[in-house]
A and B are shown apart, each in its own frame.
Chain A
Amino acid sequence: MSDPDGGSPDDTAPTNDGGRFDRLPETAADREVAGRASREEVLDWWETRFGIGREVLGGYGFWEKGAGKVWVFNGEAADPSPVEAIGMTFLRTRQEHWKPTTRAVQRFGSHATRNVVELGSERASRFVAGEDQDLPEWDGDWGYLIVSHRIAGASAPIGVGLYLHGELRSVVPKGSRADLPVLEE
């Protein structure tokens, strides 16, 4: 791994090992692996971005495998863990704008209090099919949003949208897109 600060090549600072899961450090001050998000930063991000607080996520553990992929886990695991998966993929870090996963948003997004766009039924069907659409009426933040619709008497998150320049892009992964009927409102 190259060291941006020009450290010597035999530098023994721990690096991210893409072959195993490591628990995120508690705070930035505990960080040993360069670039790794801390648990506090992850919790703060969900709180700031979506209003999903520690009362929802505080009981979970967060783990990194591969550069920037953070997983959410609710069980007991050894640290590090040389296994195939721990819990579910949750958040993409180590990039300027962190990006929640579709499944994380479906799992926890109903607790969100901001940056949620609730689509009407016709738009919801287009969104889950992977279509981008104009959304000039949105006056909230730009960037990654939780996209939801009304179904069976309540709002339910469908996935992640990317809002830029008046357009809502569907970032529903290819394998999860579907042609679904427009629900009667």
Chain B
Amino acid sequence: MNPLDRYEPLVDDVDAFRAACDRPLPSVVRTNRIKASPDRVRDAFETEGVAHDPVGWHDGIFRLPDGNPGGNWPHAHGWTHGQEEVSALPALALDPRPGDRVWDACAAPGSKTTQIADLMDDSGTVVANDNNLGRLSALRHNAERLGVTNAIVTNQDARNFSLKPLAFDAFDRALVDAPCSCEGTCRKNPDVLEQWTMDHVHGVAGIQKGILTRAIQATRPGGTVVYSTCTFAPEENEAVLDHALAAEDCEIVGVDLPLETAPGVTEWDGETYDESVTRARRVYPHHNDTGGFFCAKLRVGGSEVAR
């Protein structure tokens, strides 16, 4: 079975959705402002003769119609990082500030960690964690290439993450960019559709719930947690949020994303979810000609404590 079939009742335009899912995705790079400005990257692409188009919704992100995002001078200098457009959304929703203490719970290979460091002007602390050591070495390589100096890398299971090795006992913000069924990446990697199983959905949903609740616990009262996936499955999206709302002191807040999005769904497969999951954002491939994505922003409960 093609898992995309099951999401047809959720989308506004089924034909456009299926057609977009069949098209390959263009190569996209994000400017790394730790080392260069978007203007300088554009100048360098022009001198080198690298075709590049602005995405329109972000001045530092370019589509490269001829592909090969790693084969040019800006890449060699660490001025750019190959990263899908939708993958840039969670860090924008997280909105980290210079000086913050940030946890990236599922961080490898570091596209979002390095973007978070950039948004923090490479100051404060971003703790990049992943339970997969091999993928962490890719993260370290990316962080070095991009010149990130404010990251600490840890190798723990995020579900029972311990802050003991750190110099503080709570984060200001946390990102849970969770492991998932990944149908949203089918334009880049069609194999994900063949490997998809309902058993995996249920298994990974349990892991997602464990990581999201830990992230909420590890964030100070009044802090921000962002939850994101690249799946369309409500079991891995709204159901995970619904679980966190019941288990932890938190609320879902609105998030302004610079792309066309659809609200989270409150009913699926006989289940109903808390009304506030409609504040979460779904990104379908046909809306902005991107990959598929899901992103929600939570505020941790309790009164704000200044540190």
A106 at the interface (CB under 8 A from B): yes
For residue A78, which residues in chain B have a CB less than 8 angstroms away from its CB?
165-167
Count chain A CB atoms within 10 A of each CB in B34, B122, B147 and give the residue with the most: B147
Contact B77 A89 (CB under 8 A): no
Number of A-B residue pairs having CB atoms within 8 Å of each other in the complex: 109
Interface positions of A from 66 to 121, Cβ below 8 Å from B: 72-78, 81-89, 101, 103, 106-107
For residue A81, which residues in chain B have a CB less than 8 angstroms away from its CB?
152, 165
Assuming the contacts A107-B35, A152-B40, asked whether A74 and B47 have C-beta atoms less than 8 A apart, the reply is no
Contact A152 B152 (CB under 8 A): no
Contact A103 B145 (CB under 8 A): yes
For residue A85, which residues in chain B have a CB less than 8 angstroms away from its CB?
140, 143, 151-153
A77 to B151, CA, bound (A): 10
B210 at the interface (CB under 8 A from A): no
A158 at the interface (CB under 8 A from B): yes
Interface positions of B from 264 to 283, Cβ below 8 Å from A: none
A18 to B199, CA, bound (A): 42
What are the interface flags for B4-48 relative to A under an 8 Å C-beta threshold, 1 for contact and 0 otherwise?
000000000000000000000000000000110000110110011
A56 at the interface (CB under 8 A from B): no
Count chain A CB atoms within 10 A of each CB in B40, B75, B143, B165 and give the residue with the most: B165
Contact A88 B147 (CB under 8 A): yes
Q: Please tell me the number of chain A residues within 8 Å of chain B, measured between CB atoms.
A: 35
Q: Please tell me the number of chain B residues within 8 Å of chain A, measured between CB atoms.
A: 43
A9 to B114, CA, bound (A): 45
A166 to B72, CA, bound (A): 29
Assuming the contacts A76-B125, A78-B166, A178-B71, asked whether A87 and B43 have C-beta atoms less than 8 A apart, the reply is no
A181 to B46, CA, bound (A): 13
Contact B143 A151 (CB under 8 A): no
Count chain A CB atoms within 10 A of each CB in B124, B149, B150 and give the residue with the most: B149
Assuming the contacts A73-B150, A76-B168, A153-B43, asked whether A181 and B76 have C-beta atoms less than 8 A apart, the reply is no
What are the interface flags for B139-180 relative to A under an 8 Å C-beta threshold, 1 for contact and 0 otherwise?
011011101111111110000000001111000000000000
A72 to B133, CA, bound (A): 22
Please name the residue on chain B nearest to A175 by beta carbon.
B141
Contact B73 A83 (CB under 8 A): no
A85 to B75, CA, bound (A): 23
A137 at the interface (CB under 8 A from B): no
A164 to B279, CA, bound (A): 63
Please name the residue on chain B nearest to A153 by beta carbon.
B43
Interface positions of B from 121 to 142, Cβ below 8 Å from A: 122-126, 133, 136, 140-141
A80 to B165, CA, bound (A): 9
When the two chains form the complex, which single residue of B71, B75, B77, B149 contacts A156, counting CB atoms closer than 8 Å? Answer: B77
B220 at the interface (CB under 8 A from A): no
Count chain B CB atoms within 10 A of each CB in A74, A84, A151, A184 and give the residue with the most: A84
Shortest distance from the beta carbon of B41 to any chain A beta carbon, whole Å: 8
When the two chains form the complex, which single residue of B47, B71, B144, B167 contacts A77, counting CB atoms closer than 8 Å? Answer: B167
Contact A178 B76 (CB under 8 A): yes
For residue B56, which residues in chain A have a CB less than 8 angstroms away from its CB?
none
Contact B149 A107 (CB under 8 A): yes
When the two chains form the complex, which single residue of A77, A88, A106, A151 contacts B125, counting CB atoms closer than 8 Å? Answer: A77
Chain A to chain B contacts (Cβ below 8 Å), 29 pairs: A75-B126, A76-B125, A77-B166, A81-B165, A83-B154, A83-B165, A84-B133, A84-B153, A85-B143, A87-B152, A88-B143, A101-B144, A103-B78, A103-B145, A103-B147, A106-B147, A107-B34, A107-B149, A151-B44, A151-B47, A151-B77, A152-B47, A153-B43, A158-B76, A176-B76, A180-B73, A180-B76, A181-B48, A184-B47
A residues with a Cβ closer than 8 A to B are 60, 72-78, 81-89, 101, 103, 106-107, 128, 151-154, 156, 158, 175-176, 178, 180-181, 183-184
Given contacts A75-B151, A85-B140, 15 further A-B contacts (CB under 8 A): A72-B149, A73-B152, A74-B149, A75-B126, A75-B150, A78-B165, A83-B154, A85-B143, A88-B147, A88-B148, A151-B73, A175-B141, A181-B49, A183-B48, A184-B47
B residues with a Cβ closer than 8 A to A are 34-35, 40-41, 43-44, 47-49, 70-73, 75-78, 101, 122-126, 133, 136, 140-141, 143-145, 147-155, 165-168
Q: Which 10 pairs, one residue from A and one from B, show the smallest C-beta to C-beta distance?
A: A75-B125, A152-B43, A107-B147, A85-B153, A84-B153, A152-B44, A74-B149, A76-B167, A75-B150, A87-B149
